[in-house]
Amino acid sequence: MAHVLVVEDDPFVRSALIRQLTDAAHTVRSVGTALEALREVAQIGFDLVILDLGLPDLDGREALKMLRGITDVPVIIATARDDETEIVRLLNDGADDYLVKPFSAEHLSARMAAVLRRVRAGGGRPGAPQDAELRVGGLSVDPLRRRARLDGMELDLTRREFDLLAFLAQRPGVVVPRKELLTQVWRQSYGDDQTIDVHLSWLRRKLGETAAKPRYLHTLRGVGVKLEAPL
């Protein structure tokens, strides 16, 4: 059983989703706009959000980005769009899974169960770090408060930058393959290495280093990335 927020503007689809979820013993709240969804999430703790992309006040992709600015609650996208490029963008923006309309109640239940199982097994969102504070040299990462500091100074990191840094900090000195980063941090089984490179570049800048002169983040060409304390 989960506490689910359904964000869907079509009253017929929304009613069907509410009925399906209620029949499966979930507790359900529903809204029809992105702004209502943001208010609900800010005020109430949900286990899962089902987010439609075609909302009247804001495109669902922008709504997803705004949600990710305030919460790590798992989000399943419900969309009529089946373009692979769009799906990759949504996963990169923080979606945990997606379903292409129309879909059956059984399909939805299976996807929800899979997402919730991953979250509960990891103590948070898929790929999220555990609660113990992590230290690598002068770098400290606090997964519980989602804070990172370098030599005592707090770092201003985006959600994805923090997830990437925390994942690497759990494995100091270990080369993490790019495929594992895509799977565990981005929750993708496929993708472009450029996605990782861009986020590494932004993270390096905030750590005060460059690819040519790394301090903490070291890239092994064709292999992966490792985080280790400076010598």
The full set of domain ranges for the chain reads: 3-122, 134-227
- Please tell me the predicted confidence (pLDDT) of residue 126: 43
167-195: pLDDT as tens digits? 899 888 888 888 888 877 877 666 667 78
Query: How far apart (Å, rounded) are the C-alpha atoms in residues 230 and 195?
Result: 25
Burial of 209 per CB tally in 10 Å (0-12, 13-18, 19+): middle
Range from 33-37, 100-104, 191-195 carrying the lowest mean pLDDT: 191-195
Cα-to-chain-centroid distance, residue 116: 13
43-73: pLDDT as tens digits? 887 889 999 988 999 888 888 888 887 777 8
Domain 3-122 has CATH 3.40.50.2300: yes
Phi, psi of 185 (to 5 degrees): -95, -45
Would the pTM of this model clear 0.85, i.e. be above it? no
- Per CATH, 3-122 and 134-227 having the same topology is answered no
Range from 58-67, 80-89, 153-162 carrying the lowest mean pLDDT: 80-89
The helix (run of H) or strand (run of E) holding residue 54 is none
Domain 134-227 has CATH 3.60.9.10: no
Query: Would you say 51 and 78 are in contact if contact means Cβ atoms under 8 Å apart?
Result: yes
221 token code pair:
């060409």
Strand pairing partners for 59?
54
Range from 35-44, 128-137, 143-152 carrying the lowest mean pLDDT: 128-137
Q: Which residue has the higher pLDDT, 186 or 16?
A: 16
In this model, does residue 151 exceed pLDDT 90? yes
